[in-house]
Structure 1
Amino acid sequence: MRAVARTGLVAAATALVGAVAAAPSGAQAPTAASPGAQAWTAAPAAGRPYAYLEGPAGSVLQDTLSLTNPGARPLTVRLGGEGAPVSFAARTVTVPARTRADVPFAVTVTADTPPGEHRGAVRATAAGREVRVDLRLRVSGPRLAALTVEDVRVDTATGALRYTLVNRGTTVLAPHLAVHAEGVLGTVLDRPGRPLPLTLRPGERATRTEPWPDPPALDSVTVRLTATADGATPATARAEASFASGPALAGATGLLLAAAGGGYAVRRRGRSRTQRASAGANT
């Protein structure tokens, strides 16, 4: 198959029904209502088992669907696509009796479509039945898996970690995330990598929140988020945060005051003993 310019789709519209092949006039074709009547068909042109298109992202690819009406009456067929952006010059086509109509269609490959194999279908519906024609699309171009973690923030009131994942490559990614946090006295959070419930298309961003229900009450921490995906280099981002809840501050202040008061009492007792010893030596 070949990539065509978007103007090719306009040209296809002017040739919606072409290459019409009528059956010989002497042929006795069964009607749709008679027993054993041959059903209408929809298939890729040239007798292929499926429609195959190949081209780069951002292009318009064209193929042809053959509709065959073996009956004695005209057949009205409704056309549509599934799983791919399929365009027809007209969504409804009337095929004369004992005739084959070749109907052009086009698939627009959007600029953000990742390289690789993609599947879809062309649907034709008429006379109470539907025929699906498999559509296989191969998007050319280099495959690059690249993922970044950005805008990491720590909500010190709740402990929630907010961050943004960005797909910087050309393939669809299924990210995993690991979380690690170090405090003054050691590790305070360590979650191994686990899959996230999302996929990212090329160029797509996703802002998420990672809960931390039991953050430290009084500590200064460094949080590190590491995101991975198949084929991509691990991406890491950090954020600093200081936790200081009211009760923890009050407790720490009390300990400091108690420690200071104890030291003062020790010093007072020490001075008293020194004074008594000096007085005894002078008598």
Structure 2
Amino acid sequence: MHLVRSLLFAGALFTASSVSGADRPNIIFILADDLGWTDLGCQGSTYYETPHIDRLARGGLRFDAFYMSQNCAPTRACLMSGQYAPRTGLYTVSTLERGKAEDRRMHVPKNETLLTLKVKTVADVLKSAGYATGMFGKWHLGHEQGFHPADRGFDEALRSNGRHFKIRTDPPTDVPEDQYFADWLTERGVDFIARHRDESFFLYLPHFAVHSPYQAKDEYVKRWESEPGVGGHNNPVYAAMIQSVDGSVGAVMAALERHGIADNTLVIFSSD
């Protein structure tokens, strides 16, 4: 949705062998899932509260005219490859041939479900430049052998391929039943930052939130149930999910400050 070019530009810029490790910034990309254009304070919402994302917007650059395919797998293919959908072949999730063939108003090309191995990912490029690379969250670019994040340039990866209703992690990992999944993924990312704070790193943190099913922490939901809605912004559970994603951004920024590397880190937030 936003801020795509800055990540791809960073991937191209900092592969130059003439740039020393000390001069190369860390890169963090946080991706929300199905977050609406007006669902942030910095985008004009007076109902949802996103102080950490708003702070990021105030202190950095806002790219509001750069677009990719605006749903799950195609977005991730664009981000990882630097290519638009006509080149990756990923136009939508699963198949384009839905419903009755005679009711379709246009004929569409074949839809791919995997990001071809002919394409190097931004993680491949950064890893070859000496970056530590980590990915924790929704992958959605292929669950077949050879297409996992670990096969596409990530040194460390904990992913699920897009199962929102029954999360399956690879590698198999015990997730505490009483912990909100966005918080758990954030903890993995913050731990990655701590372990690689003395070297250049690329952290990709693609959340499952705020995609359905709409589930949020009880204490957040209770808070939003007492807030009056504003127009179409009136769902306490959805607001609580946004609060958790915003909290993830805040936790990542706090980790960078804690380790003294905030000034040498490019942080990018976007959504599909």
Instruction: State the TM-score, normalized to the length of structure 1.
Output: 0.20
Higher relative contact order (CA 8 A, sep 6+): 2
**Which protein shows a greater Rg?**
1
More strand by share: 1
